[in-house]
Amino acid sequence: MMKLNKIGLFLPRVNHFYQELFESISDGFKQVGIEVIGACELLDVEQLNQFCKKNNLQVIFEMNRSRAQIEELSKNIIHIAWIVDPQGKSVNYCQDSDIIYFFNSEWCQQYISNKGHCYGWLAPGFDEKKYPLLKTQKLTSDFSFAGHIPNPWDQAELSRCISKDNNILFSDLEKEIDAFIELNGGWHRLHVLEYRRFLNELIKKYTGKDYIEDPTLRYDLEVRITRTYGRKGAIDIAMSISDSIKIYGPDNWQRWECYKDKYQGYLDSYELVNKACQSAKLNIHDGVGLHFRSINCMGSGALLFYLYKPMNNETKGALWDHFDVDRDFVLFDCENASDFDKTRRILQDRKSIGFEPERVREFVINNHSWKKRAEQILSDINRI
């Protein structure tokens, strides 16, 4: 077993989110006797080697960068990568780290390791100090959503040429994608892998290639579109049930005519996020089940409204693998017409499903804290 008393932590950049995350992860390791040093910055490999040597580091933990991107890192350093956002690349782009964790448990099903190293799922943890239960907080809206939405496409983006051979524009692909999603009953009825298969066929059809080389175009087709459909689908479903909704996030929301009247501004601290969660009867969440948004919401004692999306493999990252459906959180399935009436009943009386904020909060603290995540990481270090 490795004798470890210090670990290096490096997050992508400096902002409120990453600074607060750095504090929370550090506190989790502190609770198991490990000091954390590092920065909200990914150092270049020369700086990183110097930092490790100066501070006598044996292990470093980085978000969104694997060892394959810093090949000259000293072989004496154990490198742990936590891939939260592949940024439009295949998860197989992430290689060579001693341990690779994926934010989305489904990515583990898609991953092929080139060296047989340790890889698996790592969900975010909860920091109970940052998200206390506000017992006197009044409920001021039926729904709340806190998060990002991409900007609507502008004319210049829609006019980009996908294939010079046949004058196919981005707008042509977008129309076909819209039609495909509508044919499949909407984004939340469609598995993301089905979308990617369709997209690959579309790209092959119009370009004769398997791959779009332009990184911005590739990102827009593989990531930006999916995030837009996910956000719009979630908000539109909530708005079909109740007009009482508050939206928080970047000012991109104001550029969407249908949502700008609901936009409340950007939450730039965990105190504001905590208050926003606990002032809504239901907090909308879509996408990865155990997400920063969902774990902080449930840990605070707020009630989560989660939109079901088909998965090829019911992996351990699904919310229902960890919490009781329609008791600890509300599960909404577009395929089930009765879920609309169910949601309206819950908005009238949240206690009708047996929801108890204190009980859910205690469960999150005991099972999904950053201390628990630190223990998982240390256990994996000792297995390699």
Q: Report yes or no on 136 lying in a domain.
A: no
Average pLDDT, the chain: 92
Residue 179 included in any domain: no
CATH number of the structural domain spanning residue 79 = 3.40.50
Rounded Cα distance, 77 and 70, in Å: 12
Identify the CA nearest to 384 among candidates 24, 80, 47, 174: 80
In a domain, 176, yes or no: no
Least trusted range by pLDDT, from 19-23, 107-111, 202-206, 249-253? 107-111
Domain that holds residue 349: 141-162+234-367
Which pLDDT score is estimated for 308? 87
Ranking 268-272, 333-337, 343-347 by mean pLDDT, the lowest is: 333-337
Of 191 and 202, more confident: 202
3-state secondary structure of 143: strand
Residues 310/190, Cβ–Cβ less than 8 Å = yes
pLDDT digits (tens, 9 = 90+) for 92-104: 888 999 999 999 8
Q: Are residues 145 and 117 in the same domain?
A: no
314 pLDDT above the threshold of 60: no
| Rg (alpha carbons) of the chain, rounded to whole number | 22
Q: Is the domain of 103 the same as that of 156?
A: no
pLDDT tens-digit series, residues 198-220 = 999 998 988 888 778 888 998 89
| Domains contained in the chain, number | 2
* Domain-located, residue 357: yes
The pLDDT of residue 87 is: 79
Tell me: do 148 and 267 sit in the same domain. Answer: yes
Same domain membership, residue 251 and residue 338: yes
**Across 147-175, average pLDDT:** 90
Both 298 and 263 in a single domain? yes
Beta carbons within 8 Å of 17's beta carbon, 6+ residues apart: none
Strand partners, 305: 284, 330
Q: Phi, psi at residue 305, to the nearest 5°?
A: -115, 105
Q: Is residue 214 part of a domain?
A: no
61-87, pLDDT tens digit by residue?
Answer: 999 999 999 999 999 999 999 999 987
Are both 105 and 42 inside the same structural domain?
Answer: yes
Residue 53 has pLDDT above 80, yes or no: yes
pTM for this entry: 0.92
Helix (H, G, I), strand (E, B) or coil at 354: coil
- Contact in structure between 61 and 80 (CB atoms under 8 Å): yes
CA distance 305 to 248: 16
Asked if the model's pLDDT at residue 282 lies above 60, the reply is yes
pLDDT at 350 over 70: yes
Residue 191 belongs to a domain: no
Please check whether residues 315 and 373 belong to one and the same domain: no
Percentage of the chain exceeding pLDDT 90: 74
The reported pLDDT for the residue numbered 276 is: 97
154 and 50, same structural domain?
Answer: no
CA-CA-CA-CA dihedral for 59, 61, 62, 68, to nearest 10: 50
Query: Crossing angle of helices 357-367/292-300, nearest 10°?
Result: 130
Distant-in-sequence, close-in-space partners of 301: CB < 8 Å, separation ≥ 6: 133, 134, 278, 357, 358, 360, 361
Q: Find the mean pLDDT for residues 140-163.
A: 94
How confident is residue 20, by pLDDT bands cut at 50, 70 and 90? very high
Instruction: Note whether 147 and 271 are same-domain residues.
Output: yes
Confidence of residue 1 (pLDDT cuts 50, 70, 90): low
- How far, in Å, are 21, 130, 138, 311 from residue 269 at the CA level? 11, 10, 20, 33
Same domain, residue pair 54 and 154:
no
Tokens found for residue 90: 């295949």
Is the residue at 168 inside a domain? no
What pLDDT shows up at residue 103?
Answer: 93
pLDDT of residue 116: 64
Kindly state whether residues 149 and 298 are assigned to the same domain.
yes
Q: Which has more pLDDT, 365 or 194? A: 365
Any idea which residue has 């076909």 for tokens?
Answer: 176
Cα(115)–Cα(118) distance, integer angstroms: 9
What gap in Å lies between CA 271 and CA 276, rounded to an integer? 9
59 and 157 inside one domain? no
With respect to residue 133, please indicate whether it lies within any of the assigned structural domains.
no
